[in-house]
Amino acid sequence: MIKSRSDYLFFKKSDIVALGIKNHSIRSKIRTFLLPNRILRFQILMRRCEYYTNVKKGIINKLILGFLRIRYSRLSFRLGFSIPLNVFGPGLSIAHYGTIVVSAYAKVGANCRLHPSSCIGASGGINAPVIGDNVYIGPGAKIYGKIKLGNNIAVGANAAVGDSFEEDNILIGGVPAKKIGTVDITSLIRHLRKVK
């Protein structure tokens, strides 16, 4: 969770790296200007809203937050995302736009790669998943209930995960989900190769 300006800058930088965006060359900057990356815009706006919600106080900052939340809500609607603030750790990578629904009570660690048509939902309103670091969530995956997922886990496409899997470095899939095997998460979350 963002608790300071340095946290905000770290989360923002981690998200940019996770999305594989390189802003070093002039050509890249021109391309970004002409063809804006809406997912990057969404994630930066999400982090900014988190920063203003958690850190900034005062009347002026409340007005700025209100304006940012309106922009965030509109962009969320356009992209098909229903992602509340303060759920994801640094290094979030949304593969591309499409329906993504996340509970406000869920907690997801660092370096999550999230695909469309996926859902991280609560059962009974507040019993939501707690997901570890370096987790790949495939297209159409449903993760729900008061469960825990460990670190370096890959959730297969269209899996229905309603039980805890606290073992690290595993691949889970199926309906209902079960352990299929082990996985090297760096093959699915590419930017982790550079970190390790």
CB 57 within 8 A of CB 65: no
- Band (196; pLDDT cuts 50, 70, 90): very low
The rounded mean pLDDT for the chain is: 90
Q: Give residue 60's region: left, alpha or beta (phi > 0; psi -120 to 50).
A: alpha
Q: Are 132 and 151 in contact (CB under 8 A)?
A: yes
In this prediction, residue 33 has a pLDDT band, given cuts at 50, 70 and 90, of confident
Q: Is the pLDDT of residue 125 over 80?
A: no
Digit-coded pLDDT (tens) for 38-56: 898 999 999 999 999 999 8
Per-residue model confidence as pLDDT tens digits over 8-20: 999 999 998 888 8
- Contact indicator for 148, 167 with CB cutoff of 8 Å: no
Task: Identify the sign of the CA torsion 167, 173, 174, 179.
Answer: negative
Q: pTM higher than 0.85, yes or no?
A: yes
Residues 6 or more apart in contact with residue 32 via CB below 8 angstroms: 21, 23
C-beta contacts of 130-133 below 8 A and 24+ residues apart = 130/106, 131/106, 131/107, 132/168, 133/89, 133/109
Question: ω into residue 139 within 30 of 0, thus cis?
Answer: no
Tokens 């859902």, residue located: 119
